[in-house]
Amino acid sequence: MNLSSNLSRESIIHFLEGGGPDSRLFEAARAALQESAGSGVFLRGIVELSNNCRKNCLYCGLRKDNRNFSRYTIPAGEVVTVLKSGYAKGLRSFLLQSGELLGASHIDHIEKILRWVSGNLEGVSMVLSTGELPAKVLERFKKAGAHRYLLRIEASTPELYKRFHPDDGLHEYGDRLRSLQMIRASGWQTGTGVLIGLPGQTSENLADDLLFMKEMDIDMCGMGPYLEHEQTPLWNRRGELSQLEEREVLTLRMISLLRILLPTINIAATTALQTLDPEGLEKGLMAGANVVMPNLTPMKYRKDYNLYQGKVHVEDTLDEVLKILGNRCGVIGRNVELENPGDPIHFTNRMKAQAGD
C-alpha cells in the first residue's frame, strides 16, 4: 500500500485498525516530516488564561455546570510575567487558552495582553484558543498582533458531534464549522483537532476526521486521546471506552496518517498524550509530531484547569523543563528549536500560492 498524501479512505481505515504495520506507518510519517519541514521541534508556551466557560460540552471538566472547582482568570500582570520569562529562555510562540466567553471584559483582557506582546516581545507568534468568537472580535485580536487560531472541531462527523454536545442552541456543529471556515478565510494560521477514542467512535469517523482536516487544508493540529472526567455527563459511558493503551496507539496512528496527508503542517504531541503515557512525548514525536507545549500557567492556577482527569502537572521550573525537553528530544535525534516561532511551512506555502508566486 502506497503511503502518500493521496491516501484513500479505505487505506486510512486499514492503518487505523492496525492493518499496518505501525512501524512502517510511523517511519513513513517521520520521512514525510523530514523531507518537508525537517526534524526540528518547535515550542509553544501555553498559558491557561481562564477556566471560565459559557458552554457545557459533555466531555469537558471545565463545563459551565461543573461547580466542583474554583474558577479563575489570570490577571494581565501575571500573564506578562510568565511571557517575559518564557521569552528570556528562548520561547517565541505562546498560546493563550481559555473557555469560551463573549463578555467585553474577557475580550478586552486578551486584547490588552496581545498589545503588550506586540509592543514588547519581538518576533513572537501568538496563538489563541478561546472558542467560537464573532468575526469582529477576531479582527480586533488580529490587529492586536495575534497570528494563529486553534479551534478544535472535536468530531467532524455531525452526528457524533451532536452526541457529545448539549442540544441547547449553543453547541451547533454548523456554527463551529462556519467559525473554523471564517477563521481560515480571514488569513489566520488555522488549527483544528479532534478527540480520539470517544465512546461509539468508529475507525470510519476517525478516517473522516483526517480527510476533513485535509479538505480544510489546515496549518496546525492538536489532537489527543479522549480522557474521561468524573465530573462530566460522559463519565457514565466510561464502560464503553477502549483501554487506554488502545486510545494511545490510535492517537499515534492518527498523528502519523495526518503527517502523511499534510506533511508541512505543525502537529502537537499533546498534553493528553503525555498524560496517558510518561513516554507520550517521545512517541508523539516519533509518530510525526513536531510541536511541544510547555505549560507556563502559574502553578497556583494549574490544578483548576482540568479538561480531563489526571492531567500531568509538571512542577519543575521552566529552566528545568527546557533542559529535560532538550535531552528527551536529543535522545530520539530531534533538536528543540529555540528562538524560532515555528510558523507552519504549510501556511507560508498557502500564502505564496494565494499571492500567485
Which residues in this chain contact ligand SF4 in the complex, by CB under 6 A? Answer: 53, 55-57, 60, 62-63, 99-100, 131
3-class secondary structure, 221: strand
Min dist CB 194 to ligand SF4, Å, is 12
Question: What value does the CA radius of gyration of the chain take, rounded to a whole number of Å?
Answer: 19
Q: What number of residues does the chain have? A: 357
Closer residue to ligand SF4 (CB): 60 or 82: 60
Min dist CB 125 to ligand SF4, Å, is 22
Q: How far is CA 55 from CA 9, 65, 237, in A?
A: 33, 8, 20
What is the Cα 199 distance to its own chain's centre? 21
Min dist CB 100 to ligand SF4, Å, is 4
Beta strands per DSSP E along 76-155: 93-98, 125-129, 146-150
Q: Which residues are CB-contacts of 252 (< 8 A; sequence separation ≥ 6)?
A: 22, 26, 283, 284, 287
Min dist CB 205 to ligand SF4, Å, is 18
Min dist CB 75 to ligand SF4, Å, is 20
What are the backbone angles phi and psi of residue 194, rounded to the nearest 5°?
A: -140, 165
Closer residue to ligand SF4 (CB): 56 or 192: 56
Half-sphere exposure of 335 (CA within 13 A, CB side): 10
